[in-house]
């Protein structure tokens, strides 16, 4: 028992070693580099220009046919509390006191390598070549993994719809931009705090502003590299962490974060059958050897016993034979004597009949004595 348990543990240990070796290090993408769709669009949000008028929120509500909120878009008191996107609010403007009031708009950033798309197990999200990340409500199961995955906490869910809930988020006004129109929020912004254009050009424009007014801007274009880069870009006077944007997200895109674990999957499928059938074969073999040893031991004892029995039998037979032989000899002698006597008697009677008797007596020594009596 103890030994076989150890074998079992040894097997697990070996499997574990293999697991650690194969699961820990594999990466899918090697040194391939993906630059995203060429000439895709984006939006540059200049936080220093935003006045918190909420016109973009209103425009977004209108162009997306969203239900009107209870408090009107004119009411700026909603800025007193921090808000995030919601099922029927695709964009919000928040106020940050740094200590001067600063306003920053928040909506889907349309990542170059969207975490939501990487996470979705039915491909509901698509990074289109326009730059917009679109969502297909027709396949969405409602697992909400996209919401877990999005580092910017953007997608929202219609939790109160019983049967047809969907994920919602800013579409970058995809239907409008393919018609050649501007996104609703960009179009309405009175201060040009939002600029729509090709992402590459927007990055250049952003840096130009930063170079031109180094005192006004912090030298960081948010979204240029965050989480692999986003189509929506930001420049700000204050550090971004002061205006509600996380600066600790890193620059690794979502697919890079999971490629290692994903790469381990086929390796397991490739190697586990080998390990497992190997372990099976080993345990089978050990079993077989054990069985053989057992069989052999049994056979040996059996053989020994047989040999002994045979020997005993032989001895017995010998003894018997000896006894028999002596008995036979005795009988034969007796018979011979008798025969001799008879013969003499008969000789006297008829001289012709006495040829075979001594021959037969010789044979009888080795063979069946029963015939002899005849």
Query: What residues from 267 to 326 belong to the interface with ligand SF4 (CB under 6 A)?
Result: none
Instruction: State in angstroms the smallest separation of the CB of 16 from other proteins.
Output: 6
Instruction: State in angstroms the smallest separation of the CB of 36 from other proteins.
Output: 16
Query: What residues from 32 to 61 belong to the interface with ligand SF4 (CB under 6 A)?
Result: 59-60
Query: Does residue 43 belong to the site contacting other proteins (CB under 8 A)?
Result: no
In the list 52, 69, 134, 157, the residue contacting other proteins (rule: CB under 8 A) is 157
In the list 156, 172, 206, 332, the residue contacting other proteins (rule: CB under 8 A) is 156
Query: On the CB side of 27, how many CA atoms lie within 13 Å of its CA?
Result: 8
In the list 129, 161, 319, 347, the residue contacting other proteins (rule: CB under 8 A) is 161
Query: What residues from 46 to 105 belong to the interface with other proteins (CB under 8 A)?
Result: 84-87
Find which of ligand SF4, other proteins, none residue 366 binds, CB within 5 to 8 Å per kind. Answer: none
Residue for token pair 């600063």:
102
Closest to 129 in 3D by CA, of 253, 228, 41, 32: 41
Query: On the CB side of 148, how many CA atoms lie within 13 Å of its CA?
Result: 8
Find which of ligand SF4, other proteins, none residue 243 binds, CB within 5 to 8 Å per kind. Answer: none
What separation in angstroms does the CA of 270 have from each of 18, 98, 280? 12, 56, 17
Instruction: State in angstroms the smallest separation of the CB of 46 from ligand SF4.
Output: 15
Query: Does residue 159 belong to the site contacting other proteins (CB under 8 A)?
Result: yes
Query: On the CB side of 34, how many CA atoms lie within 13 Å of its CA?
Result: 12
Quickly list DSSP for 136-172. -TTT-----HHHHH-TT---EE-TT-SS---EE---T
Nearer to ligand SF4, 173 or 245 (CB): 173
Closest to 185 in 3D by CA, of 317, 66, 303, 292: 66
Query: What residues from 113 to 172 belong to the interface with ligand SF4 (CB under 6 A)?
Result: 114-116, 119-120, 122, 124, 133, 140-146, 150, 152, 154-155, 167, 169-172
Query: Does residue 103 belong to the site contacting ligand SF4 (CB under 6 A)?
Result: no
Query: Does residue 184 belong to the site contacting ligand SF4 (CB under 6 A)?
Result: yes
Show Cβ contacts of residue 312 under 8 Å, excluding neighbours closer than 6 positions: none
How many angstroms separate the CA atoms of 277 and 264, rounded? 20
Query: Does residue 165 belong to the site contacting other proteins (CB under 8 A)?
Result: yes
């Amino acid at each position: 028992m103890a030994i076989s348990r150890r074998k079992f543990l040894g097997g697990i240990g070996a499997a574990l070693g293999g697991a650690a070796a194969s699961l820990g290090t594999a990466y899918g993408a090697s040194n391939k580099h993906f630059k995203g769709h060429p000439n895709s669009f984006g939006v540059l949000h200049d936080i220093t220009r935003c006045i918190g008028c909420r016109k973009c929120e209103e425009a977004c509500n209108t162009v997306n046919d969203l239900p009107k909120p209870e408090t009107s878009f004119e009411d700026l008191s909603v800025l007193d509390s921090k808000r995030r996107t919601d099922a029927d609010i695709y964009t919000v403007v928040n106020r940050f006191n740094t200590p001067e009031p600063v306003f920053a708009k928040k909506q889907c950033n349309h990542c170059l390598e969207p975490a939501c798309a990487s996470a979705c197990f039915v491909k509901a999200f698509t990074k289109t070549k326009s730059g917009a990340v679109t969502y297909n409500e027709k396949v969405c199961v409602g697992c909400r993994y996209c919401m877990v995955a999005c580092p910017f906490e953007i997608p929202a869910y219609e939790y109160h719809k019983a049967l047809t809930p969907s994920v919602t988020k800013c579409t970058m006004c995809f239907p409008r931009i393919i018609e050649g129109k501007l996104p609703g929020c960009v179009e309405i912004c009175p201060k040009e705090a939002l600029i729509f254009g090709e992402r590459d050009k927007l990055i250049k424009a952003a840096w130009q502003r930063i170079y031109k007014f180094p005192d006004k801007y912090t030298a960081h274009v948010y979204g240029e590299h965050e989480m692999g880069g986003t189509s929506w870009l930001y420049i700000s006077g204050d550090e971004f962490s002061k205006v509600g944007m996380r600066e600790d997200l890193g620059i690794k895109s979502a697919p890079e974060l999971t490629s290692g674990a994903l790469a381990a999957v086929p390796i397991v499928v490739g190697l586990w059958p080998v390990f497992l059938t190997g372990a099976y074969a080993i345990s089978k073999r050990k079993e077989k050897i054990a069985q053989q040893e057992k069989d052999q031991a049994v056979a040996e004892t059996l053989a020994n016993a047989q040999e002994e029995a045979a020997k005993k039998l032989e001895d017995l037979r010998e003894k018997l034979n000896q006894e028999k032989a002596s008995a036979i000899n005795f009988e034969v002698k007796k018979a011979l004597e008798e025969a001799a006597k008879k013969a003499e008697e008969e000789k006297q009677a008829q001289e012709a009949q006495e040829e075979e008797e001594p021959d037969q007596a010789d044979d009888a020594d080795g063979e069946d004595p029963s015939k002899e009596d005849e």
